[in-house]
Structure 1
Amino acid sequence: MSTDTSKDAAAPGISPAGTTRATIAARFERLPLSRWHVTVRLIVGVVTFFEAFDQLLIAYALPELRDEWQLSTGDATAVLTVGSAGMLVGALLSGRLADRYGRVKVIAYCVAASGLVSLALTACTSLTPFLALRFVQGLAIGGEVPVAAAFISEITRSFKRGRFVLLYELVFPAGLTIGALVAAWVVPAAGWRVMFAVAAVPGLLAFLVQRGVPESPRWLAERGRLDEADAVMTEIEAKVSAATGEPLPHPSAAAPTAQEPAAVATATPAERAATGPRGLFTGRYRRRTLVVGAIWFTGYFVNYGVTSWLPSIYKDEYGLTLSDALLYSTVTSVAGLLGCLVVALTVDVLGRRRIFAICLGASAALLLTLAALGAGTPAQVLIWTSLSAVGFFGSNICLYLYTPELYPTRMRALGCSVGGAVNRLGVILGPILVGVVYAAGDSVAAVFVMLGTVALVGAVVAGTLAEETANRPLEEISP
């Protein structure tokens, strides 16, 4: 291996004999952003885009399903939440599987299963098989999203990691938004079955993932497969070097902390050995798990409490036509996408903790203002919920960046999957409690009081207890 500290042109990698978890991390730290990173981000991003597309369809199909199958309020709530229950279970299972068998395999299998189930949903003629299939599809969607977040974090260096990861994560709210736009046009014109048929096509992307995306070298090294980690890392380095047209800097020059990061030096023996579900509650990871879990829950409680019921509220409370109700709801989703973009461009400057506190705090203020105004007209609901969506969408997308940073490679996917499971609790309870308050209350304003209060709790927890991780190597943050 060359001893030149400025370049290593002859051999971008280092020999298998010298490969360790620390050297793999150092080699990632010296990689400049390149076409290779963008290509992998695009492939995984397209998969995540269509998982989001599938997830939102149920909210836009619900008004038609209620008429077609004469669903009660309880039935409608079950339709909205059964997929989320599947996602909760899928998230918990996928983290363990991805930490044991690899990130890319789990992603590919999940997207294939989601596509097949979406096709099967088009044949449903009654509620019971529909609910069963939506639960299975939830298993797949819930499994893919957190594992993909862990994978993207692991192939990214620390400098401006927030912007890179969140520009990838934008595909999820983009999928929600485009799904809303397409559904608002297709469902009234062609029916809900056509939408689920369209959503089945991307299942073919599973083959693209398997062929076009390498396994995470960080994960391979963590599993003791050092020769494979070195081979994959060497291939990545060669592609990055070819894309940039420049030799890569020497790993030790690019990442001087790789040999013994400060966090590793100060970690307790229990923290260094922490793994599995118990590891998430060992030492420093206990507080991280509780804090990030609270932010996941409150953010998604508000998000889905608002977006899942908006089409039905517009239609039933204010007498809008189905087309208008879906259009109004789509505006809120578009506003949320704008919030995600703003967060992606500012998260490395403001930091994760400030983003959570600002976004959730602003959402709380806006929702409580809407409640104080009485939510008397659909225009009021449209304006204030859309402004609030800028905040809670922005906070929620940041969680897909923040959570993988809080855990070491050996339990990173598990940590992400637990976060995904907790967010499913919010996704399930949000629509349920909104349904209860909406059905029992004299005014829809009570719904927004509840949602604003939950957002405020999330803002306080984040602002006072969240740990800052911006621009720090993963191995330094999480020993």
Structure 2
Amino acid sequence: MTTVDSRGAQIAARLDRLPMSRLALRARLVIGAVTFFDGFDQLLIAYALPALRAEYHLNAVSTTFTITVGAVGMLIGALLTGKLADRFGRVPVVTACVLVYSCTSLFAALAPSLEVLQLARFLQGIGIGGEVLVAATYISEIIGPKTRGRFVLVYELTFVFGLAAAALVSTWVVPAHGWRALFAVGALPVLLAVALRTVPESPRWLAARGRYDEAEAVLVLLEASARAQHGMLPDIVSSVPGPVAERPSVLELFRGRYLPRTLVVSVLWFTSFLVNYGIASWLPTIYTSVFHLNVSTALTYSMITTVAGLLGNIVIATTVDLVGRRAGLITGMLGGTLVLGSAAAVAPTQGTQVMLFVSVAAFFVFSVNLALNLYGPELYPTRSRAAGASIGGVFARLGVIAGPIVTGLAFGTGAGIAAVFGVLAVTCLIGGATVALFGVETARQPLESLSP
């Protein structure tokens, strides 16, 4: 018979009632800076690609491999880090990830050949693929249910700002200084490893591992910071107790109540990221090779699309606690279906038209990418939350790998842009239908009641 974890429940209840404090804000800012550079480094290859194609005379196969080799690294990173974070803690794994993806960005900048660059991107992908999932899990565990959605997604906007910054910096750096300088900039977050030493571990994770005294010590610091800033703290509301300090098991995520949840988030991660990277990875190349735009114009158009996606992310981040997770996810996927389906029917013949269609589609689909970083961790218990998030992350990376391949194959059929839009529209429809039929709502509920 399973023993009830009353002490862990008390720690969770005390944590959930805390208002935002300077200590919690500092933790969010440091983790947010790490995630910003994760987003920045992730898409650098797309903006360096036109210059790489010219320098190394890449054909379609070499281009696709150069894009996807980093995504394979992200897949491995997602597979590894969830289990590691559930065993060794959220903060140590985030620190290891930032060291990996920043040092390998410098390795890429110094690469003497295309093959070495591809190896650097593969290794960089391991750090990139793991960090954002573990960081999202950490952030979701240190805030209460009433504002958890807005809090997590506003934090997650740092990743999207990183994507936008990569597009913005690329439009200046690549034409003026070349692609190597772009990867050199991506090495800057190595400095954040020092700042991460000031970030406290998740009290929820410590309690789930039976390390109650350490959890209590961190919680006392958070309470003291909140009390100094806000005065008297809110009353503690009893929380739902869970099993006592159980050993985490990945198999748990594939049985009982968690199996349908795992299936839903896996489909959503895969479809939304396939569409995202199917659009983003090939756009600069399509603009230059099909519509004969110069590199500067192509990168500017890609930046506009990224900014449109950022606007969609801002909308979902500020409304997710009001409308709920499920409604936001459905709207994002079905909105993308409508826009991309319309683009397939119109078959645009100018670069500007393509930019307009993909920018509106990005407004919808990129919001799903963001919301999943909130939704996935909410569906699992603390003892295996990072592992659950990493399973979704694995399917996200499979989508990242499949997106450029599917887009390249669709474009190569001879039907051109219309085929690309058609395939991406169907993919969006599958994701939207899945969450509409099988998704559960998690808004404004304590984590312990969602996943005992």
Task: Place the TM-score, normalised by the shorter chain, in its bin.
Answer: over 0.9
Distance in 1 between residues matched to 2:93 and 2:220, nearest whole Å: 23
Distance of aligned partners of 1:463 and 1:397 in 2 relative to their CA distance in 1, 3 Å threshold: same
- After superposition, give the CA deviation of every residue in 1:190-223 in whole Å (9 maximum; x if it has no partner): 100001111101111011012x200111111111
- Superposed, 1:157-306 pairs within 5 Å as 157-210=144-197, 212-244=198-230, 246-251=231-236, 255-256=237-238, 258-260=239-241, 275-306=248-279
Letter in 1 for 2:20: L
Query: What secondary structure, in the 3-state scheme, does the structure 2 residue paired with 1:20 have?
Result: helix
Out of 62, 65, 82, the residue aligned to residue 95 of structure 1 is 82
Q: Separation in 2 of the partners of 1:230 and 1:274?
A: 20
> How far does the alpha carbon of each residue in 1:422-454 deviate from its partner, in whole angstroms, 9 at most, with x for none?
100001001111111112323211100000110
Structure-to-structure mapping, 1:402-441, within 5 angstroms: 402-441=375-414
Contact 1:31 1:248 in 2 (8 A): yes
Which deviates further from its counterpart, 372-381 or 216-225?
372-381
Relative to structure 2, which stretch is displaced further, 111-120 or 283-292? 111-120
Identify the residue that residue 24 of structure 1 maps to in structure 2: 11
Q: In the alignment, residue 420 of structure 2 is paired with which amino acid?
A: V
Equivalent pairs counted in the alignment come to 448
CA contact (8 A) 2:340 2:421 kept: yes
One-letter code aligned to 2:321:
D
How far is 1:19 from its partner? 7.5
1:71 is aligned to 2:58: yes
> Could you tell me which amino acid in structure 2 is paired with residue 145 of structure 1?
V
Identify the match of residue 121 of structure 1 among 108, 122, 141. Answer: 108
Shift of 1:376: 1.2
8 Å Cα contact 1:274-1:282 kept in structure 2: no
The gaps in structure 2 that reach 5 residues or longer are none
Cα 1:274–1:297, aligned 2, differ >3 Å: closer, same or farther?
farther
What TM-score does the superposition give when structure 2 sets the normalisation length? Answer: 0.97
State the Cα deviation string for residues 49-105 of structure 1 (Å, max 9, x = none): 001100010000011111111111111101111111001111110011100000000
Could you tell me how far 1:323 is from its partner in structure 2?
0.6
**Are 1:299 and 1:396, in contact at CA under 8 Å, matched by a contact in 2?**
yes
How do 1:300-379 and structure 2 match up within 5 A? 300-379=273-352
**Percent identity between the two aligned chains:** 50
Instruction: Write the deviation string for residues 332-366 of structure 1: whole angstroms up to 9, x where unpaired.
Output: 00000000000001111111111111111011110
**Counterpart amino acid of residue 10 in structure 2:** T
Question: Between Structure 1 and Structure 2, whose CA radius of gyration is higher?
Answer: 1
Query: What RMSD over aligned residues (CA atoms) do the two structures have, in Å?
Result: 1.6
Query: Aligned equivalents of 2:350 and 2:182: distance in 1?
Result: 30
Q: Distance in 2 between matches of 1:72 and 1:125?
A: 20
Query: By how many angstroms is 1:259 displaced?
Result: 4.9
**Closer, same or farther: CA 278–374 of 1 in aligned 2, 3 Å:** same
- Out of 12, 35, 39, the residue aligned to residue 26 of structure 2 is 39
Distance 2:253 2:449 in 1: 17
Cα distance in structure 1, aligned partners of 2:20 and 2:222? 12
Measure the CA separation in 2 of the matches of 1:41 and 1:232: 15
Partner of residue 84 from structure 1, selected from 71, 88, 99: 71
Tell me the CA shift for residue 382 of structure 1: 1.0
Gaps of 5+ in 1: 1-17
Task: Say whether the 8 Å CA contact 2:267–2:434 is kept in structure 1.
Answer: yes
**Is the 1:36–1:243 contact (alpha carbons within 8 Å) kept by the matching residues of 2?**
no
Task: Quote the offset at 1:188 in angstroms.
Answer: 0.9
